């Protein structure tokens, strides 16, 4: 795991932590009664979840007609939310898989929470393709199960079917990856606990003893899963983008969508990781594990992906003009200057202009700026999906059918409620599992702990670092 670390790199663990300190700091929050902030957050989230449940009930009971979608705009907030949530999930997979392969040590501070976020975001995202169906009780039709109707198969040409496979695979691999990482940490928690709690964690840790064989298998499995998950980072959102790219609708039918969607997904995912981690490090006192160095690294990724997304936006505009294809031209003209111009404007401002602030190191390392930027980007990326979906559908080929769309309370309730669902899951997660990967952080302590490197480092530790892990 560890490799030689350049001495100019900032330490990733501060506070001269010992292995025991790390265990104490990270396991501690799950062993104490929840604080006031947690309780308030949980109450709000449960209220959100209730809103979600009620709005979904309303939709299923009365029909999709309780939304303001119409004959022209068949998808609105529903699929916007779906793509948004799926996109958010991508940061977790990127951090756990690609950064693992790239040996980025800073990932250890945030990967656990990011992976959890991925799983919860995919759970939220997965709700929407179901909810948006006119007849949800027949949702099982989308699976290719053996049947007596012919047999009647699903339509393998349909991108929606590809979605089914892409997302279920993604969810499975993400869960496995996350859980694999949790096994040694659960064992740590088991060792610290007694009674029922001990039994549960014992079960969850699969009898982990920390033997060398266990560690070796653990490392191998992590690597295999990282190898599996890496293409998923690229493929899942590529397939989601096929929902649009393979259609015939101008503004959807573009080949740029796969890379553009993947970049956008990572962009929004990192923004969401930041939003969550900035709060979590404060609330759970993890400042020594999620340092400014971590934040700066993530801001760099945001700057990169944001610029990719911005380039994609401009490329789209150029190509639509250059293609000479009038429907395409109109679609983009309409996005920018049609009745939904404000959403395009919001998207451009939040996604392209505002992240440019991260060219400055000062702002990259500013918690305040980072927090607001992360919110901006979440809003901007939501707008992006809204622009692509609703704005495009609102004015396509036949002007006679053009229309306009504003959501009803039900649609808003489902979206806001889905955040309730997400945060309920996330808050429960902070109570039952270590939010930072204990084992992984420990593995970099001697290469990135501030007592070993940086200006506070003790000489002894330096020597150890030089001759130690090879």
| Residues binding other proteins (CB under 8 A) | 61-66, 68-72, 74-75, 129, 132-139, 141-142, 152-155, 157-161, 164, 243, 246-249, 321, 326-327, 329-330, 333-334, 336-339, 341-342, 345, 393, 396-404
| Bridge partners (DSSP) listed for residue 449 | 13
Q: How far is it, in rounded angstroms, from Cα 111 to Cα 119?
A: 12
Nearer to other proteins, 153 or 203 (CB): 153
Strand, coil or helix: what is 449? strand
Q: Are 380 and 346 in contact (CB under 8 A)?
A: yes
Pairwise CA distance, residues 305 & 267, whole Å? 5
* Rounded least distance, CB 405 to other proteins, Å: 9
Least distance CB 73 / other proteins (angstroms): 8
Least CB distance to other proteins at residue 163 (A) = 8
| DSSP of 30-89 | HHSPP-HHHHHHHHHHHHHHHHHHHHHHHHHHH-GGGS---SS---SHHHHHHHHHHHHH
Name the DSSP letter for residue 158: -
Give the Å distances, CA to CA, from 109 to 5, 22, 32, 89, 262: 16, 12, 22, 17, 23
Residue closer to other proteins by CB (options 128, 178) is 128
CB of 432 to other proteins, least distance (A): 34
Phi and psi at residue 164, in whole multiples of 5°? -55, -50
Measured from the CB atom, is 280 or 347 closer to other proteins?
347
The runs of H, that is alpha helices, within 132-194 are: 159-192
What's CA 117's distance to the chain center, in Å? Answer: 6
Give residues with Cβ within 8 angstroms of 202, minimum separation 6: 190
The residue among 56 and 444 lying less far from other proteins, judged by its C-beta, is: 56
Which of 79, 286 has the CB closer to other proteins?
79
Q: Please, which residues bridge with residue 13 across strands?
A: 449
Q: What is the Cα 140 distance to its own chain's centre? A: 27
Closest contact distance (angstroms) between CB of 60 and other proteins is 9
Min separation Cβ 253 and other proteins, Å? 9
Pick the closer one to other proteins by CB: 75 or 77.
75
- Helices 107-131 and 77-93 pack at an angle, to 10 degrees, of 160
- Gap between the Cα atoms of 99 and 298, Å rounded: 12
Closest CB 351 distance from other proteins, rounded Å: 16
Distance between start and end Cα atoms, the chain: 10
What whole-number distance in Å separates Cα of residue 236 and Cα of residue 197? 37
Q: What CA–CA distances, in Å, run from 419 to 172, 287, 351, 368?
A: 22, 25, 21, 22
**Is the Cα dihedral 114, 430, 47, 52 positive or negative?**
positive
Minimum distance between the CB of residue 262 and other proteins, rounded to whole angstroms?
A: 22
Nearest approach in angstroms of CB 119 to other proteins is 24
- Shortest distance (Å) from residue 364 CB to other proteins: 30
User: Rounded distance, CA 417 to CA 85, Å?
Assistant: 13
Residue 412 burial (10 A CB sphere; 0-12, 13-18, 19+)? middle
Closer to other proteins by CB, 102 or 342: give it: 342
Nearer to other proteins, 63 or 207 (CB): 63
**How does DSSP assign 245-261, residue by residue?**
HTSSSTTT--TTHHHHH
Cβ closest to other proteins, residue 324 vs residue 459: 324
> Residues 373, 302: contact at Cβ < 8 Å?
yes
Nearer to other proteins, 4 or 249 (CB): 249
**CB of 390 vs other proteins, minimal distance in Å:** 11
Q: Which residue, 315 or 329, is less far from other proteins as judged by CB?
A: 329
Closest CB to other proteins among 220 and 247? 247
Minimum CB distance to other proteins, residue 63 (Å): 4
């Amino acid at each position: 795991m560890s490799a030689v670390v350049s001495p100019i790199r900032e330490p990733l663990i501060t506070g001269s932590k010992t292995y025991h300190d790390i265990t104490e700091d990270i396991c501690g929050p799950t062993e104490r009664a929840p604080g006031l902030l947690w309780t308030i957050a949980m109450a709000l989230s449960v209220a959100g979840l209730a809103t979600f449940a009620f709005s979904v009930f309303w939709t299923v009971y009365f029909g999709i007609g309780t939304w303001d979608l119409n004959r022209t705009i068949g998808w609105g907030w529903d699929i916007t939310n779906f793509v948004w949530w799926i996109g958010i999930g991508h940061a977790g997979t990127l951090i756990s898989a690609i950064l693992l392969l790239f040996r980025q040590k800073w990932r250890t501070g945030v990967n656990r929470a990011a992976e959890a976020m991925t799983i919860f975001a995919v759970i939220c995202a997965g709700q929407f393709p179901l909810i948006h169906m006119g007849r949800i009780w027949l949702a099982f039709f989308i699976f290719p199960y053996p049947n007596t109707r012919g047999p009647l198969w699903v339509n393998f040409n349909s991108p929606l079917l590809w979605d089914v496979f892409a997302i279920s695979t993604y969810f499975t691999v993400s869960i496995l990856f996350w859980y694999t990482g949790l096994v040694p940490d659960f064992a740590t928690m088991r060792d610290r606990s007694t009674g029922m709690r001990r039994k549960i964690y014992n079960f969850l840790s699969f009898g982990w003893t920390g033997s060398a064989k266990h560690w070796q298998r653990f490392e191998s499995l992590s690597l295999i899963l990282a190898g599996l998950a890496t293409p998923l980072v690229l493929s899942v959102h590529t397939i989601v983008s096929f929902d649009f790219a393979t259609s015939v609708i101008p503004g959807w039918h573009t080949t740029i969508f796969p890379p553009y969607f993947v970049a956008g997904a990572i962009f929004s995912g990192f923004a969401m990781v930041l939003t969550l981690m900035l709060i979590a490090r404060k609330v759970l006192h993890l400042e020594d594990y999620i340092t400014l160095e971590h934040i700066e690294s993530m801001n760099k990724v945001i700057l990169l992906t944001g610029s990719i997304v911005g380039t994609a936006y401009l490329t789209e505009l150029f190509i639509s003009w250059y293609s000479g294809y009038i429907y395409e031209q109109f679609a983009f003209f309409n996005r920018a200057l049609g009745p939904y111009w404000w959403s395009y404007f919001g998207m451009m401002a939040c996604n392209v202009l505002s992240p440019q602030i991260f060219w400055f190191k000062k702002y990259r390392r500013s918690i305040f700026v980072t927090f607001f930027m992360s919110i901006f980007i979440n809003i901007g990326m939501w707008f992006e999906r809204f622009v692509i979906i609703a704005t495009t559908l609102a004015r396509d080929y036949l002007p006679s059918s053009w229309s306009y769309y504003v959501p009803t309370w039900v649609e808003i309730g489902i979206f806001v409620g889905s955040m309730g669902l997400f945060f309920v899951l996330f808050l429960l997660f902070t109570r039952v599992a270590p939010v930072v990967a204990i084992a992984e952080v420990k593995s970099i302590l001697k290469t990135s702990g501030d007592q070993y490197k940086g200006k506070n480092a003790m000489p002894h530790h330096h020597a150890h670092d030089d001759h130690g892990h090879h």
